[in-house]
C-alpha cells in the first residue's frame, strides 16, 4: 500500500486532501489536522508524522498503526479513509486520513455539559470505547497498548471513537522473550510513564505474554475513566487513587481494571455485561434526542470549530 502511494506522490500527484489548522493535541507524536477531502470537499481528519530516517522507530510504529486501522472495522473505531507515505523537504512523512473527528478532552470542554446530562454523555462515550476495546481484545486477540484520553476522538455526530493503533500487538503470537519486531515492546517508550501498568513499566514482557490479552488495556481503560470524570489528562500514576469523581456504580469495576497484578484485571466485556453504563446511555439518548442527537448539532459544533481556524 505505502510503496504504491509513495510512487504516486513522488510522481507529482496532488495529495487527496487539503490541510487545515492543527488541533491543540494528538495521540503520540502525530499532529492532528483539520482537513478537507479534495474529491468532494467533505471534512476529514489528517494525522501527520515525520522523521529524517524512514526506519526510525516512530515511523515503523506509525506504519503499524495505519495497517491496523485500515483492517480493523468496528462502529466505535475511527474510520480509515486513506494513507500516504511520501518525502517532504528531506523528511519521510506518513499521512493518515480518517473521518472527521476532534480530540476528546478539548471537545468535552467545548461542550460544557454539567449535571446529569454530563454524566449520561460520558457514560455513553465510555460505553462506545469499551465496545471497541472489547472487539480489539476479545474478538481480535490484540493488545491496543495505550488506551487513554489521547487515543479517543469525537466525531461530528458526537460519538466517541478509539484510535491510536501504533502499538497494537497480537497477543497470541507473542514469542518467549523480548522481540524487536513486537510493536508494544519496541515502542513502549512512546507511552508516558503514568499510563503504563507495572509489567510494561518494568518491561516484564513475559508477564504481558502470560497474562490475558486484555490486561494491559484494562489498565489503560482505568486511566481513561479517571481522565474523563476528572476532566483533565492524567499527570501522575498516583492520581488514579483519587476516586471522588468516579460514579459509585462504576467504582468497583474501575478498581478491578486497575489491579496491580496483570492477571487479575477485569476484562472490559465484564463491565459491558454488567450494564453499569447502559442505563445512563439510554437516558442520555432519550432525554436529548431532540437537541444533542439532532442531525445538525454535531455538524454545527464542528462548523464553528472550523470557522475559528479559517
- Confidence tier at 300 by pLDDT (50, 70, 90): very low
pLDDT at 306 over 60: no
Does residue 83 sit in the same domain as residue 165? no
Looking at the DSSP assignment, which residues form a beta bridge with residue 160? 154
What's the CA gap between 141 and 68, in Å, rounded? 13
Q: What is the mean pLDDT of residues 273-278?
A: 86
- Confidence tier at 308 by pLDDT (50, 70, 90): very low
CATH number at residue 153: 1.10.510.10
Of 83, 100, 117, the domain-final residue: 100
Q: What is the pLDDT of residue 187?
A: 87
If we measure between CA atoms, which residue out of 28, 301, 23, 275 comes closest to residue 155? 301
Of 100, 135, 159, the domain-final residue: 100
Tell me what percent of the residues of the chain surpass a pLDDT of 90.
Answer: 76
What's the CA gap between 120 and 126, in Å, rounded? 10
Q: Which domain holds residue 211?
A: 102-283
Q: What is the mean pLDDT of residues 136-151?
A: 97
* Rg of the chain on CA atoms, in Å: 19
pLDDT at 178 over 80: no
Does residue 61 sit in the same domain as residue 126? no
Cell numbers placing 285:
439518548
150 within a domain of the structure (yes/no)? yes
SS3 4: helix
CA dist 75 → 80, 114, 255 (Å) = 11, 27, 27
SS3 49: strand
Mean pLDDT over each residue of the chain, to the nearest integer: 87
Of 70, 100, 130, the domain-final residue: 100
Confirm if 120 and 283 have CB atoms less than 8 A apart: yes
Q: What is the pLDDT of residue 68?
A: 97
Does residue 260 sit in the same domain as residue 138? yes
Is 308 or 245 the better-scoring residue by pLDDT? 245
80 within a domain of the structure (yes/no)? yes
pLDDT at 309 over 90: no
301 within a domain of the structure (yes/no)? no
Does residue 89 sit in the same domain as residue 163? no
Confirm if 16 and 38 have CB atoms less than 8 A apart: yes
CATH number at residue 93: 3.30.200.20
Does residue 120 sit in the same domain as residue 179? yes
107 within a domain of the structure (yes/no)? yes
297 within a domain of the structure (yes/no)? no
Q: What is the pLDDT of residue 172?
A: 78
Number of domains in the chain: 2
299 within a domain of the structure (yes/no)? no
Q: What is the pLDDT of residues 87-111, one digit of tens each?
A: 998 899 999 999 999 999 999 999 9
Amino acid at each position: 500500500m505505502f510503496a504504491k502511494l509513495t510512487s504516486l506522490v513522488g510522481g507529482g500527484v496532488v495529495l487527496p486532501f487539503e490541510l487545515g489548522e492543527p488541533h491543540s493535541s494528538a495521540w503520540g507524536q502525530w499532529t492532528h489536522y483539520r482537513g478537507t477531502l479534495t474529491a468532494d470537499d467533505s471534512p476529514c481528519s489528517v494525522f501527520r508524522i515525520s522523521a529524517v530516517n524512514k526506519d526510525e522507530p516512530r515511523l515503523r510504529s506509525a506504519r503499524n498503526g495505519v495497517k491496523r486501522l485500515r483492517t480493523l472495522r468496528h462502529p466505535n473505531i475511527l474510520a480509515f479513509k486513506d494513507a500516504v507515505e511520501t518525502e517532504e523537504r528531506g523528511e519521510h512523512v506518513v499521512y493518515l486520513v480518517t473521518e472527521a473527528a476532534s480530540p476528546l478532552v478539548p471537545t468535552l470542554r467545548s461542550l460544557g455539559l454539567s449535571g446529569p446530562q454530563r454524566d449520561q454523555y460520558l457514560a455513553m462515550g465510555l460505553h462506545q470505547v469499551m465496545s471497541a476495546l472489547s472487539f480489539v481484545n476479545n474478538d481480535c486477540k490484540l493488545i491496543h497498548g495505550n488506551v487513554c484520553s489521547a487515543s479517543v476522538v469525537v466525531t461530528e455526530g458526537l460519538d466517541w471513537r478509539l484510535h491510536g493503533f501504533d502499538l497494537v500487538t497480537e497477543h497470541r503470537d507473542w514469542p518467549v522473550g523480548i522481540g524487536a519486531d513486537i510493536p508494544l515492546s519496541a515502542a513502549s517508550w512512546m507511552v508516558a510513564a503514568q499510563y503504563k501498568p507495572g509489567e510494561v513499566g518494568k518491561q516484564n514482557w513475559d508477564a504481558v505474554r502470560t497474562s490475558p490479552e486484555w490486561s494491559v488495556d484494562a489498565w489503560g481503560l482505568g486511566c481513561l475513566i479517571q481522565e474523563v470524570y476528572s476532566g483533565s489528562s492524567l499527570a501522575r500514576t498516583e492520581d488514579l487513587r483519587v476516586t471522588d469523581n468516579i460514579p459509585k456504580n462504576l467504582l468497583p469495576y474501575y478498581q478491578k481494571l486497575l489491579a496491580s497484578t496483570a492477571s487479575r484485571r477485569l476484562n472490559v466485556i465484564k463491565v459491558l455485561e454488567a450494564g453499569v453504563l447502559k442505563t445512563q446511555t439510554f437516558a442520555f439518548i432519550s432525554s436529548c434526542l431532540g437537541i444533542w442527537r439532532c442531525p445538525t448539532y454535531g455538524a454545527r459544533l464542528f462548523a464553528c470549530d472550523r470557522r475559528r481556524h479559517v
